[in-house]
A and B are shown apart, each in its own frame.
Chain A
């Protein structure tokens, strides 16, 4: 058996619940993450932004681990009736108009710099398995494979920015609160 017992159990449960499982395909990590990003937008409300209400903008800061997967997943599909636009940049001033800002492969120091520079803007910060991302003020963070939850959410940070996250998403996430309270 190559499957671990845990996996095996999942499959059994899946059978019992008759979950509509995907045929054949074994998706790659970033294919799945792109699909999450698409769906997050369906369960999140942003405050009105003047001048831009017909596109959803996804910003990729620095390293882009997706290749062209994002284009394949997002472009040509609508979430909340809006088309997607993807902006890739290492310069934060290009990314101030984003709805979602995806951050991958950076240290905590750089992460904090990003938070500092986007303070007060209604940007949903999304970390790619970054350590303590939600604890220091990020809104959503993907967790590593085999974690109990697939993502973490810091709802306080979201609220502060006027972003409303659906309770359905919150239920599926590991909820993190601001660490700064500890000081």
Chain B
């Protein structure tokens, strides 16, 4: 705080010649030493001496110097308060008027806003008569009066959020600050400064922590950067994290010349560190970053010329070529003549959180929120409950708008920061899709690319959707009430196009998706692929509604609201492991135990009283899941023939036939479809179909010795494999066509060909393949083909597996 230094000069002028009659010679000597130290700005050394003198002599000048020493200390500023207070009560020409202003600053710090306003007004009053008063001090006092009035207004508003300090192992005796989380709140990166207040050169590290299955933050570890030696001698600080946690942004540089770099984050290792382009990085300070969930907009801080003063927030849009375009200042609604910093664009893409020393701050930097609506930003709103009169800087929020993290030095004398978690109780409607993609038998995570298109506009939303190749996990965040096409590409499987509809919702909606790609194999190769899409929905609003219908004596709000929030929290904590690993936390065991008993009793009673209605309600009220399993067979065994073109946003994309998940249908359609689904398959008329409607997916030939109709034993296992294929896939039928060579009588040969086919049919039926799906014919003598005259080749049964065209 430079302003306190100013005191010193006036002091030397006005109080320099005070008398110290009561002091002994030794004390005078001490005072002289102290004054010398004070003049050299060695306040920490001067202070104990002044304190000693003060204990024996009552002198304004000593008192003021003690005050000044404290004001210039790092952690003990508030101790100046009683000394300055005493001085301010003396109406003496000897007391410098800046004391009023300093006292006001200290009162403001300690939330004594009324007294602070009085002191600043007092300062303004006397400053008019004072020739030494400077314009910037007058402006400061005027601004502080406004700030204190803001503070009175904001700090008296009802407090609606819960704020908790994170426990060990995140917060320690050292300083933890600048937390950044992924949208699903599973990963947190932050900075830790070790040795603040102790070491001459405190060290700052980048840390990462993962949330464990119990919902607590796990032991943090240091982030590792590959090729770190390239940045030797430069400071490396966190700048931002993409909502999916796969891209990390760093500030690297020296002093105020900071540049923005992006890198890939995998586990705790940062690779591929790249400096962003020249539009983003200038010779000026370029700092904190926030990237939109769809990866197309980058918000960042810069003090480049042309802004509104101090650091301003800019945004840059990704160009068609994939790089960042020329940035644009967010404008006067957001940026002020003071510093703006730490932008955070919520995954809803319209809510911006940022810190500012301007706007309606209650002191220092405060966190503000503004929404982008109809082409402009709304008046920034002070998030009063989490702001203090000190600097409040870094604030991030999870996808549902519920849980935020920030760091603050609140209540810490050494200015050490701690990380806090805040429950805002102010949700933003959004749909979060967490998924996992696996392939093969047994399934393992595969690397794939996922692209999402808004069906209406055909616009491609890119960049943040790709699954992590190690875990197969991906994350997508959608504004609700829209249809989307999800296009999945992978090396070993057909490209897939999946439609999903994200319904409109009032609250938060979460979808857990599992995509499984598996080959359909016969002994001699792959004939198709099975795609399984498993969607599990949580519609919290529905749960509430169901509850409120069943219990009309319960108030709907706000009791339910709290319940809802709890649910969201639980869901977020459990989704990661939802299917395989239900959460076990101590406080939940008892409650869950009760629920299981209730469920068991309910079902028992329903069976005992043969009550189908209760069972139906239970069924209908169950967490909705939909599973779609589709098998794509290769046409003529050729993978590429199975692709169909789609035109999306002007581009043509080839994929396997589109998969419509039940989530892209209304609930009525879903029920209807489920009812007809099974009937449909059974009634498919394989035998009546025309040959041109059949799509052949596999052909198999069995050759026979002369005059034999028994299936050669060495072919049995392959034929059994075809039986398995037919049985597991009700959509398939097969032709069984028998032939003979031309030796012998024609009539006999016809019956021999039939017998050959019949024996194969018998084998199929013995293996439980429905005869309705098999078309059996004996063709008699096969016609010699020019390229193969071997009679063995003619004595055969053809098994042609087919699918019917839709």
Contact = CB atoms under 8 A, between A and B. Distances in A.
A and B found bound together = yes
Interface of A: 2-4, 6-8, 10-15, 17, 19-29, 31-32, 35-36, 38-39, 42-43, 65, 67-69, 72-73, 77, 107-110, 112, 131, 136, 144-147, 149-150, 166, 168-169, 171-172, 183
Contacts of B598: 22-23, 25
Interface in B328-377: none
B545 A3 contact: yes
A166 B444 CA distance: 43
Given A11-B549, A107-B724, 18 more contacts: A4-B668, A10-B616, A22-B602, A27-B622, A28-B623, A35-B603, A42-B604, A67-B580, A67-B581, A73-B600, A109-B727, A145-B619, A166-B607, A168-B607, A172-B606, A172-B607, A172-B615, A183-B765
Contact of B622 (A24, A32, A43): A32
Contacts of A147: 619, 674
5 contacts: A3-B546, A4-B671, A11-B550, A25-B595, A28-B625
B667 interface: yes
Interface of B: 503, 505, 538-539, 541-543, 545-547, 549-552, 563, 579-582, 584, 592, 595-596, 598-600, 602-608, 610-625, 667-668, 670-671, 674, 678, 723-724, 727-730, 765, 767-768, 771
Contacts, number: 161
Contacts of B563: 24
Contact of B728 (A2, A27, A38, A109): A109
Contacts of A13: 613
A36 B727 contact: no
A15 B550 contact: yes
Contacts of A144: 674
A77 B600 contact: yes
A163 B730 CA distance: 30
Contacts of A4: 667-668, 671
Contacts of B670: 146
A151 B730 CA distance: 21
A139 to B, nearest CB: 16
B483 to A, nearest CB: 18
Given A14-B550, A172-B612, A7 B599 contact: no
A183 B765 CA distance: 9
Given A26-B621, A32-B618, A145-B619, A109 B724 contact: yes
Nearest to B720: A109
Contacts of B614: 14, 19
B617 A19 contact: yes
B617 A6 contact: no
Contact of A146 (B600, B615, B671): B671
B602 A20 contact: yes
Given A4-B668, A11-B546, A29-B622, A72 B617 contact: no
Contacts of A15: 549-550, 552
A31 B599 contact: yes
Contacts of A172: 606-607, 610, 612, 615
Contacts of B595: 22, 25, 27
Contacts of A68: 581-582, 584
A24 B563 CA distance: 9
Given A144-B674, A146-B674, A32 B592 contact: no
Given A21-B550, A21-B617, A168-B610, A136 B622 contact: no
